[in-house]
């Protein structure tokens, strides 16, 4: 149990285990893609100037409120590493926490794909969980990869920071809450937003979702 941690009665019943991890899930900050909707996937797209400011701001707020984290985990792509490094602790890079691989669609706008590859785009949005982008991985495959990377960490406790992408945030929340992966789009974390989840042997409790950077 975290030192000094006090839970309400309902949460205490949900989390009877003495081992509790408080996981702070951060989506990376804004990236340099302009206003167009782009398939970034596993492309190593850098943060915009605003995204860099967002990353510093959420890390500074975390350190003010909680002090140093016990562990910092991050996708190995630079837009996540940049945020993770701002927490001032050793960063564990996990390639399994990368975004969904969008294959031949990487770096393309949805507008151009809808013109050049309309059948594949239609099939993708018709069966989001199972359809594959041309040459890429399906959402179910990506979510399974993320889940395997998390499971490989073994039992966790303490306060854990995770800096990753919108897809892995959705995948982890679905897995922890027992939701089917085709329900993932119900979660819409914005750039640099934070979700806080309590994890114990008995299950997960979402304390907070979608907290934005401070103005």
Residues recognised as catalytic? 28, 99
The continuous run of DSSP H or E covering 92 comes out as strand 91-93
Tell me the H-state helices in 67-155. Answer: 78-85, 110-116, 118-126, 139-151
* Nearest partner of 146 among 122, 165, 119, 127, judged by Cα: 165
CB 147 within 8 A of CB 179: no
Structure tokens at 94: 């996990």
Which parts of the chain fold into alpha helices (H)? Answer: 9-14, 49-66, 78-85, 110-116, 118-126, 139-151, 166-177
The pair of structure tokens assigned to 5 is: 């941690």
């Amino acid at each position: 149990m975290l030192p000094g941690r006090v839970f309400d009665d309902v949460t205490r019943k949900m989390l009877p285990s003495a081992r509790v991890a408080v996981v702070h899930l951060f989506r990376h900050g804004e990236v340099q893609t302009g206003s167009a909707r782009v398939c970034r996937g596993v492309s190593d797209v850098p943060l915009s100037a605003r995204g860099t400011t967002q990353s510093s701001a959420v890390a500074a707020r975390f350190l003010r409120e909680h002090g140093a984290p016990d562990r910092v985990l991050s996708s190995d792509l630079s837009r996540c590493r940049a945020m993770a490094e701002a927490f001032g602790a050793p960063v564990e890079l996990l390639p399994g926490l990368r975004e969904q691989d969008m294959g031949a669609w990487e770096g393309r706008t949805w507008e151009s794909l809808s013109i050049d590859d309309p059948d594949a785009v239609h099939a993708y949005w018709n069966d989001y969980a199972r359809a594959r982008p041309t040459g890429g991985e399906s959402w179910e495959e990506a979510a399974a990869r993320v889940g395997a990377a998390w499971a490989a960490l073994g039992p966790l406790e303490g306060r854990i920071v995770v800096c990753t992408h919108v897809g892995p945030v959705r995948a982890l929340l679905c897995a922890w809450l027992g939701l089917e992966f085709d329900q993932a789009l119900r979660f819409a974390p914005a750039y640099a937003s934070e979700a806080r989840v309590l994890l114990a042997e008995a299950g997960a409790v979402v304390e907070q979702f979608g907290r934005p950077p401070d103005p």
